[in-house]
Structure 1
Amino acid sequence: MADLTQVKEHAEVIGADGVHVGTVDAVEGNRIKLTKKDSGQGSHEGHHHYIDGGLVATVEDGTVRLSANADVAVTFETEE
C-alpha cells in the first residue's frame, strides 16, 4: 500500500490499466473518498464512493494509480 498522506484533493484516480476511476475528494482513515461527480448512474448517483487504501499502488505527479484495473477496482468501492 502506498503512503496515503501523499494523496491530495482533486488528484485523479486511475486503474492499473490507465482508465479513470474517479477524483479524490478527501482521504478518510484508510480510504479515499471520491467526488460525487464520479459516483456513477442510477442508484449510485449523487453520493460519495470510497476506495480502500490497500488498492493504491503508487501516488506520483498528482495521480493515484491503483493496483487493479479500473473495471475491477470499482467492484471494490463502498458507498455512504
Structure 2
Amino acid sequence: MTAINVENIKSHADVIASCGTKVGEVDHLEGNDQIKLTKHGDGHHHLIPVSWVGEITDNKIMLIKDSQEVKDTWVQV
C-alpha cells in the first residue's frame, strides 16, 4: 500500500467511502492522524482516522471503509 501524504488532504475535499457514498467534506486535519469533517446533517463535526484513507485524487479522499462502517465508528465532536 502506498503511504498517504497528509499534506495532500485539503479543506473542503469530498470524503468518499469505499462503497462510493460521500460521507462528508474535510474541514481540516487534527494533528497528523485525524481528519475533522465539516458539520454533518446532525450539526456536529466528526473525526475519522487518516489510516482509513486509501487514496487521494482530484480533491477527493477515498476511504477503505464503507459508509455504514464510517458512520458507525466515526467520533462525534
Same fold (TM over 0.5): yes
The yes-or-no answer on 1:31 pairing with 2:18 is no
Query: What is the CA RMSD across the aligned residues, in angstroms?
Result: 1.2
**Sequence identity, in percent?**
35
Q: How many residues align?
A: 74
In terms of fraction of residues, the more helix-rich structure is: 1
Q: Which residue of 1 aligns with 2:48?
A: 51
Whole-angstrom CA distance in 2 between matches of 1:13 and 1:51: 10
4+ aligned runs moved over 4 Å, structure 1? none
Aligned amino acid, residue 50 of structure 1: L
Whole-angstrom CA distance in 2 between matches of 1:74 and 1:4: 22
Mapping of residues 1-80 of structure 1, within 5 Å: 2-29=4-31, 30-36=33-39, 39-40=40-41, 45-80=42-77
**Unpaired runs of at least 5, structure 2:** none
SS in structure 2 at match of 1:73:
helix
Q: What's the TM-score once normalised by structure 2's chain length?
A: 0.87
Aligned amino acid, residue 31 of structure 1: Q
Q: Cα offset for 1:22?
A: 0.3
